[in-house]
Amino acid sequence: MKNEIEINAIRSRPRFKVVANMTADEFSDKLKAHFKNHNKTLGGYVNREVGVIRLRQDREKYWAPQLQIRVEQNDEKPGTILVRGLFGPRPSIWTLFMFSYGLGGAIILTTGLYGWIELALEIGNFWVWTNLIGLLLMVGPYISAKIGQRIAKSHMSVLRIFIETVLVEEKIISE
């Protein structure tokens, strides 16, 4: 039996997948029971298919991560379920960062092509320098995301300890 959930810490949104020897309803009930024990720290919702676990709003900071859980029937082993988890920021924050990266890339592509064409035709080089705007739109959010990950490290450990308690100490992980 596993004693630890393997989570790849290098990724920006770590994930895990475990097989549990129970039904989706039983898992949902176990999670709700653990919520009641941690109701001063954690909040969120859980049903038989999905769940979101996050810090309570009075303790939550802008960078606070959340854990999204998805429960699926395991077709390979009848009578078991697959529990998939995804640690990450709130979807609105994730969307903001992805929009910023996309906008920065579009600006670099557009002004870069136009600027290098002007430079090759010896018209001028003004548009080449506008690539810095796109670069800032990509580097700025990247640096702030790294700072946010460092700030949210303690919150991440609270979520990880909670889900490990539910999955490991309840001995619902199959071999």
Q: Summarize pLDDT for 95-132 with one digit per residue, the tens.
A: 888 999 999 999 999 998 988 888 888 888 778 788 88
Write down the domain spans for the chain: 15-89+153-168, 93-149
Measured CA to CA, the distance from residue 87 to residue 160 in angstroms comes to: 9
Highest-confidence range of 15-19, 52-56, 84-88, 106-110, by mean pLDDT?
106-110
CATH class of 15-89+153-168: alpha beta
pLDDT at position 3: 45
Q: Please check the confidence at residue 69 and state whether its pLDDT lies above 70.
A: yes
Residue 1 scores a pLDDT above 60 = no
- Write down the pLDDT at residue 8: 46
Which H or E element spans position 105? Answer: helix 91-120
Residue 126, CB half-sphere, CA atoms under 13 Å: how many? 2
Q: Measured between alpha carbons, how far is 158 from 35 in angstroms, rounded to an integer?
A: 13
Residue length of the chain:
175
8 Å CB contact between 151 and 55: no
Specify whether the CB–CB gap between 163 and 5 falls below 8 A: yes
pLDDT value at residue 171: 57
pLDDT at 4 over 60: no
Residues 6 or more apart whose Cβ sits within 8 Å of residue 135:
104, 108
- Comparing 126 with 59, which gets the higher pLDDT? 126
- Average pLDDT score, the chain: 81
User: What span, in angstroms and rounded, lies between the C-alpha atoms of 3 and 158?
Assistant: 18
Q: pLDDT tier at 58 (50, 70, 90 boundaries)?
A: low
